[in-house]
Structure 1
Amino acid sequence: MSPSPSPTPTGLRIKSPESLLAESGADLEGHGLKRTMGLFQLVCFGVGAIVGTGIFVGLSDTVAEAGPAVVISFVLAGITCIFTAFSFAELGGAIPVSGSSYSFAYATLGERVAFLVGWCLLLEYGVSVSAVAVGWSQYLNELLNSLIGWQLPEALSAGPGDGGIVNLPAVIVILMAATLLVRGIRESARATAAMAILKIGILIAFCAIGFSAFEAGHLTPFMSAGIGGLTSGASLAFFSYIGFDAITTAGEEVKNPRRNIPIAILICIGVVTLLYCAVAVAAIGALGADAVGDKPAALSLVVNQVTDSTVGGGIIAFGAVVAIASVVLAVMYGQTRILLSMSRDGLIPRVFERVSPKTSTPVANTWIVALVFAVPAAFSSLDAVVNLTTIGTLATMAAVNVAVVALRRSHAGLPRSFRVPLYPLSPALGVAMCLYLIWGTGWTTWVQFVVFLAVGALVYAFYGRRHSRLGEAATPTAGAGAEPREG
């Protein structure tokens, strides 16, 4: 028997949390996702999704914008994530399903908003896979140069925007991640855990080397770029945090999700913020902001100059290759689970919800994602997609903060393993911080994002709304808030 729907405003299609939970426990085509991830694996998965291109590749761009005050930029971006992490923790504990922001919006803000949130998640997860893969290619060349004194030809290791023809390494890392993902979540989680531990160790080693050559004079003038540079730097720094919400996409494959999801989110944000600030201070303190800014593979450059050897830089490059590969793996995982949830609801084609009986993974879904986003990875530059990815992520995070308030009002009695502190101030500040960082992305990015949202609205109007299972199940008297058909 399906859960009874909760009252909803006239014409607003809202799926109750009880319905989402009931569907997540049901078999999909006779085969469902399996709960195999514990807390440690979930934390490693979160770190694996976060730490990668943003710090190994994007640090130089952030320093170029903010100067030595980049550490404040990282703190501002981290504070934004912390407020939103509280909201994710409450929602992830209350509705532990695989749809993350999309499912939370469906349960609180309605189907149309949920679809647009899912549409924005294509930027956060899908497009960022392409961006991360491009960063992986840069460090792979740095590693090859350190090991054997040879690099891949520029024509085959960069897209047309960066002076090449096709970025083959970026395509290869995406296909490798897809291969591992279709083998099963247990294997993927083990690989991600190993890579997360390795890259944290590499970054700690970098800090030790950087602080050994630290000069306080390199941090002055501290606010060299002013408030404008600080704001732009914070918007760029935010890219380094993208992926922490991927933890909530694992809601149906985590043991004891109501407990483990909130704990994992908060641990990840805390660890990553401290690590990023330490890395930024170590890098600038060692060489100065001018030497670090706008330099590719900046961390390897710092280590090479401090140690007067290419060996240390080669080790950093190896850590970056591993770190960024783990981000590709974790973010692709998140994207496939978002699409799986949207497909269950009929908003996108059913091929995305099919789960293999052998591996308990969405095989077709995974390969479609890999092939589609390998194309921009092959032919785009990193700079071309960072701001658009950032604004899409910030928009979904603002929606999540609003969703917490909406769920408190509509389902006050729903069991919650974590509650947002200082409610409702905390989610309000989360929305305000997201809007502040959106402002820092610049008007050209705003225009691109508005166009992207308009396309999404058209897709929903002409496909999603017509094929929605919630809409098909609605009766004239029950309205669009009725429950979808079972089976």
Structure 2
Amino acid sequence: MTAGTAPGSFARSLLRTKSVDRLVAEGGAGEGGELKRSLSLLQLTAISIGATLGTGIFVVLGEAVPLAGPAVMLSFVLAAVTALFSALSYAELAGTIPVAGSSYSYAYATLGELVAWVCGWCLLLEYAVSVSAVSVGWGSYLNAFFDAAFGFTIPDAVSSPPGEGGLVNIPAVVVVMLATFLLLRGASESATANTIMVFLKIAVLLFFCAVAFTAFRSQNLASFAPMGWAGLSAAGSRVFFSYIGFDAASTAGEEAKDPRRDLPLAIIISLVVVTAIYVLVALAAVAAMHWTEFDISGSEASLAEVLDTATGATWPSIVLSLGAVIAIASVVLTVMYGQTRILFAMSRDGLVPPVFQKVSPSRRVPVANTVIVALFISVLAAVIPLGRLVDATSIGTLFAFALVSVGVIVLRRTRPDLPRGFRVPFYPVTPLLGVGFCLYLMVGLGGVTWVVFGLWILVGLAAYFLYGHRRSRLAAGPSGRTSP
């Protein structure tokens, strides 16, 4: 609080909201430059599928099947229903406030600047740590592919971080740099590359299903739910995090050709497609290999083991490993895209340094922003064993999901007149259920996760009060000019 500022005035400054009209107007008139509206419905849908359909299905099945047995396919449905409550809220706000920034921008319009900052800060944790972890996983799958196809692997010294038997994780840096190259080419170009990768990884998963179904054994499904509802529910909680990423299209609010129509459709379509693939893969896997043969440790090769059991040959596993490499590269690309757009929105509001909103006049992308994000993620992925820190991404995501559901309720009450490309059905029950499910899953997370989350929030609050609060363009009035 600055000298001469009344306590009441200071408190009100933390709760100031940015009007939807101003958010949308600034979306096409930023000081650093304007993003280019070039993304179609197909590309937006592929962004969300690309950010969601990645390591989860390749890894999580091995962890979830021992908990639920063949009923694991219903666990995916249960998790999808949970995600659907948040997805519907995202769809309404994305169609109502079609700007960059996703849930950060929605919170700014509904819950105030401080809550928006905390939301954006949580998203930075989610995106940076998750994409670093995914990049590390990419190296593991690349090694699995090299080993199966050519009989060699990259030495641990240059493929693992310190503390995990290596010195630096070069493959993790490589995939981040490849994603950076595509992002700097332009939004449309990177979205096209992602769309191709999405179709390829869907094709690989359908290939898995086709091969696994040749070994279909109805007796493997006889004891359908051996652990009962408790097991099905436990597996549902585990696989829920395979759905994180469906909101990625909402970060492209200023690059969609028809955001009010396409953003809600992209979010809902991506969730439906991902759920259908998850259930189909789960059914094919448990029908081909008895559920008791799955390793609860969550073997990364669980799907490959199913193919080995089904065919007795190695070439299907090679195809699957290649698919995993493509799938994870797509996740890195789309999650990095989302993080740069959230920072772009926060910078335009004055809450982070202006370098993050500078847009290249020729390619219409935030170049410096993208390079800074890439360097930061590369360092995390190359030299830091992430370990349990990755769990903090889950709590940050759930927090953002809950805020979006609350935002729907607030905006319906404060601005019922706004044109909405999509409306949440069964309002207000649906957004309230979204909040409840998110809080339920947050409470179930471990104590270490809460400690990491709390420390991250404290660091974020310090950054806000030392920098963002004083430089907020909203505090400066309509002109947006703050005093030096």
Cα distance in 2 for partners of 1:440, 1:224 equals 23
Tell me, yes or no, if structure 1 residue 375 matches structure 2 residue 379: yes
Q: 1:356 — aligned with what?
A: 360
Q: 1:478 — aligned with what?
A: none
User: Kindly tell me: are residues 289 and 380 of structure 1, through their superposed partners in 2, closer, same or farther at Cα, counting changes over 3 Å?
Assistant: farther
Q: 1:276 — aligned with what?
A: 278
Cα distance in 2 for partners of 1:236, 1:133 equals 21
Provide the secondary structure at the position in 1 that maps to 2:419: coil
Tell me, yes or no, if structure 1 residue 485 matches structure 2 residue 480: yes
Query: Bigger CA drift: 418-427 or 71-80?
Result: 71-80
**RMSD of aligned alpha carbons:** 2.0
User: Kindly tell me: are residues 290 and 463 of structure 1, through their superposed partners in 2, closer, same or farther at Cα, counting changes over 3 Å?
Assistant: farther
User: Kindly tell me: are residues 450 and 159 of structure 1, through their superposed partners in 2, closer, same or farther at Cα, counting changes over 3 Å?
Assistant: same
Q: Percent identity?
A: 52
Deviations 1:305-348 (A, max 9, x none): 32111111110111111111011001100000000000111111
Cα distance in 1 for partners of 2:137, 2:108 equals 34
Q: TM-score, normalised by structure 1?
A: 0.91
Tell me, yes or no, if structure 1 residue 423 matches structure 2 residue 418: no
Aligned length: 469
User: Kindly tell me: are residues 72 and 124 of structure 1, through their superposed partners in 2, closer, same or farther at Cα, counting changes over 3 Å?
Assistant: farther
Q: 1:391 — aligned with what?
A: 395
Q: 2:96 — aligned with what?
A: 94
Cα distance in 1 for partners of 2:444, 2:217 equals 30
Q: 2:4 — aligned with what?
A: none
Cα distance in 2 for partners of 1:76, 1:54 equals 16
* Greater than 4 Å deviation, 4+ residue runs: 64-67, 219-232, 380-383
Contact kept? 2:389, 2:449, Cα under 8 Å: no
Tell me, yes or no, if structure 1 residue 320 matches structure 2 residue 328: no
Cα distance in 1 for partners of 2:54, 2:227 equals 26
Provide the secondary structure at the position in 2 that maps to 1:417: coil
User: Kindly tell me: are residues 223 and 382 of structure 1, through their superposed partners in 2, closer, same or farther at Cα, counting changes over 3 Å?
Assistant: farther
* Offset of residue 124 of structure 1: 2.5
Q: 1:406 — aligned with what?
A: 410
Q: 1:195 — aligned with what?
A: 197
Q: 1:4 — aligned with what?
A: none
Q: For residue 451 of structure 1, what is the amino acid of its counterpart? A: L
Q: 1:266 — aligned with what?
A: 268
Q: 1:253 aligns with which of 252, 255, 270?
A: 255
User: Kindly tell me: are residues 66 and 348 of structure 1, through their superposed partners in 2, closer, same or farther at Cα, counting changes over 3 Å?
Assistant: farther
Deviations 1:93-120 (A, max 9, x none): 0110011100000000000000000011
Cα distance in 1 for partners of 2:185, 2:315 equals 35
Q: For residue 362 of structure 2, what is the amino acid of its counterpart? A: K
Q: 1:454 aligns with which of 455, 458, 463?
A: 458
Provide the secondary structure at the position in 1 that maps to 2:475: helix
Q: For residue 156 of structure 1, what is the amino acid of its counterpart? A: V
User: Kindly tell me: are residues 231 and 388 of structure 1, through their superposed partners in 2, closer, same or farther at Cα, counting changes over 3 Å?
Assistant: farther
Cα distance in 2 for partners of 1:17, 1:243 equals 24
Cα distance in 1 for partners of 2:250, 2:240 equals 19
* Offset of residue 13 of structure 1: 1.0
Tell me, yes or no, if structure 1 residue 71 matches structure 2 residue 73: yes
Q: 2:169 aligns with which of 159, 167, 170?
A: 167
Tell me, yes or no, if structure 1 residue 21 matches structure 2 residue 24: yes
Contact kept? 2:473, 2:481, Cα under 8 Å: no
User: Kindly tell me: are residues 73 and 383 of structure 1, through their superposed partners in 2, closer, same or farther at Cα, counting changes over 3 Å?
Assistant: farther
* Offset of residue 447 of structure 1: 2.5
Query: Bigger CA drift: 80-89 or 204-213?
Result: 204-213
Unpaired stretches in structure 1, ≥5 consecutive residues: 1-8, 474-482
Provide the secondary structure at the position in 2 that maps to 1:103: helix
Q: 2:300 — aligned with what?
A: 296
**In the TM superposition, what are the counterparts of 1:134-283 in structure 2 within 5 Å?**
134-219=136-221, 221-224=223-226, 230-283=232-285
* Offset of residue 225 of structure 1: 5.3
Q: For residue 296 of structure 1, what is the amino acid of its counterpart? A: E
